[in-house]
Amino acid sequence: MKECYRVYAMYLKALSDETRLKIFDMLSNGELCACDILEEFNITQPTLSYHMKILSESGLVDSRRDGVWMKYSINRKSLEALKQLFDNIGLNMDNTSSHLYKGMDFC
Amino acid sequence: MKECYRVYAMYLKALSDETRLKIFDMLSNGELCACDILEEFNITQPTLSYHMKILSESGLVDSRRDGVWMKYSINRKSLEALKQLFDNIGLNMDNTSSHLYKGMDFC
DNA sequence: CGACCATATAGAGAGATGTCAATGTGTATG
DNA sequence: CATACACATTGACATCTCTCTATATGGTCG
């Protein structure tokens, strides 16, 4: 666990919006273009673009151009990091080991 | 996976603040009173109370009175639900199975 | 090149969020 | 009861967030 709380908080903030959480889940089934995602929601295209920017800049989602389309996909490393965050919190509960927050003063 | 995105988004919003994420991690080592938590942060007592209310009302954290003190602890069920959320997203990626968002129209 | 399509950006506005100082509430204790 | 302690609530404020309309950008195709 080398990361700081700040990065995890950023991930969680990116997913704390219901629309973005749904998008993240949709992407778990594979790459999608913005137009595909837009069809699932009652939001305007600029609003979707705003959400995709937040997901991309957080590092949770990767993006690439494919001609006219922007293709989005989940960044596996960040998903793994999120899993580990909650797994480690669970471990603390079972083992009564040291807190994550100790030894993180450099953050 | 019977829960709705709205509940998960609420959990994640509660943890999307760096202070609250640290508190949640601190609680993974066992029950703490507000005064113990307050010592770890440079915030006022009302601000901590505000954060604890958000964590409690989200269902992530349980609270009980012990004389003058309020004791806080992690709600294990909600932690398990969070773990499953990300585990299932990971499964989708591997199995190319159905999306979580399908069949959730009742939400 | 010109028209068109998909997406991004800018600007504005309503509402949510995080923080504090001041004050209220509830519990123990002399 | 009076005091003190731990915590909650209120009200105010600055900032952030989400959404839209309008407009810009960038790639494709006739």
Q: Rounded mean pLDDT of A28-50?
A: 97
Q: Do B29 and A96 touch (CB under 8 A)?
A: yes
Task: Write the burial class of residue B103 (CB in 10 Å: 0-12 exposed, 13-18 middle, 19+ buried).
Answer: exposed
Global ipTM: 0.89
pLDDT (tens digit per residue) in A51-101: 999 999 999 999 999 999 999 999 999 999 999 999 998 787 876 555 554
Give the HSE-up count for residue A20: Cα atoms under 13 Å, Cβ half-sphere.
24
Report pLDDT for A1: 43
How many angstroms separate the CA atoms of A64 and B73, rounded?
43
| Distance in angstroms between the alpha carbons of the first and the last residue of chain A | 13
Could you tell me which of B52, B59, B51, B76 has the C-alpha nearest to residue B10?
B59
What is the DSSP-derived secondary structure letter of residue B79?
H
Q: What is the DSSP string of A6-66?
A: HHHHHHHHHHSSHHHHHHHHHHTTS-EEHHHHHTTSSS-HHHHHHHHHHHHHHTSEEEEEE
How many Å apart are B6 CA and C14 C1'?
22
pLDDT band at A50 (very low <50, low <70, confident <90, very high): very high
Closest-CA residue to B72 (of B80, B81, B63): B63
- What is the structure's pLDDT at B2? 35
CB of B50 within 7 Å of some strand C atom:
yes
Contact B26 A99 (CB under 8 A): yes
Stretches in chain B below the pLDDT threshold 70: 1-3, 95-107
The model's pLDDT over B67-85, given as tens digits with 9 standing for 90+, comes to 999 999 999 999 999 999 9
A9 beta carbon to strand C: under 7 Å = no
Exposed, middle or buried: residue B106 (CB in 10 Å: 0-12, 13-18, 19+)?
A: exposed
- The more confidently predicted of residues B94 and A15 is A15
pLDDT of residue A13: 98
Domains, chain B, ordered by start: 5-95 (1.10.10.10)
Averaged pLDDT for residues A8-35:
97
* Structure confidence at residue A69 (pLDDT): 97
Dist. CA B12–CA A62, nearest whole Å? 21
Q: Residue type at A18? A: E
State the pLDDT at residue A107.
45
The answer to whether A106 faces chain B, any CB pair under 8 Å, is no
Å: A96 CA to C15 C1': 42
Per the CB < 8 Å rule, is A8 touching B21?
Answer: yes
pLDDT tier, A32 (very low <50, low <70, confident <90, very high otherwise): very high
Smallest CA–CA distance, residue B68 to chain A, in Å, is 25
Q: What is the pLDDT of residue B91?
A: 84
Eight-class DSSP state of B47: H
Instruction: Measure, in angstroms, how far nucleotide C24 C1' is from residue A8 CA.
Output: 36
Confirm if A89 and B79 have CB atoms less than 8 A apart.
yes
